Amino acid sequence: MKLNKFIIVVGFATFFFGFGLGAVVNIYLLATNSPLVLNFRSSLTFISSILGDGIILPIINMLAVSFIIINKEFVNKLTLIIGLIFGLLITIYFHAVQGIEKLVNWSMPTPWHWNFLGVWHAIYMFVVSSFLCLYFVVMINYIRKNKKIHREFIFIILGIIIFFILLKFDYAFLFN
């Protein structure tokens, strides 16, 4: 029973920190006619935020944490460090591309200048990316030992692919 509650907490935390709090701030800023949401795209204008951060990533993280807990023998200091390093590299990559491409929004109103919302998103992205990288390292070790892929792997990969398609749609079609 405790495991199920923890998995639900992970899903809720992913939803809250990735979408929920930003949506509340978005609504507040709209209600106060803040130039931040009147002049820039905000979280409630991104499909990848609404569907990706709001639904897909919480489900993916719930599946991933369930798998990691069941296969905790594959978690050690090295796997944690690898997850953190790759999570950091992913976060740096996406934020560097945002700066290079001048993809301004409410979290980066001018290129290379992230406000509090941008820092919040970077921290959230680092945590989620690191966690999912840890999942993949654990999955690789699971595959090596058991010579098979765990069934949730397909759902997690599919969810990540859908998230990236939504992200690409948001930036490729809506900014041009």
φ, ψ of residue 42 to 5 degrees: the values are: -120, 180
The pLDDT value given to residue 171: 80
Question: Which residue type occupies 108?
Answer: M
The pLDDT value given to residue 1: 57
Instruction: Check: CB of residue 20 under 8 Å from CB of residue 58.
Output: no
Angle between helices 116-146 and 77-100 (to 10 degrees): 140
- Report the C-alpha gap between 166 and 50 in whole angstroms: 10
Q: For residue 83, what are its two tokens?
A: 């997850």
Alpha helices in 71-115 (DSSP H): 77-100
At 24-79, the pLDDT tens digits run 999 999 999 999 999 999 999 999 999 999 999 999 999 999 999 999 999 999 99
State the pTM of this model.
Answer: 0.91
- Reduced to 3 DSSP states, what percent helix, strand and coil does the chain have, rounded to the nearest 5? 80, 0, 20
Q: For residue 108, what are its two tokens?
A: 């980066």
Of 47, 15, 60, give the one whose Cα is nearest residue 166: 47
Instruction: Check: CB of residue 43 under 8 Å from CB of residue 110.
Output: no
At 95-154, the pLDDT tens digits run 999 999 998 999 999 999 999 999 999 999 999 999 999 999 999 999 999 999 988 899
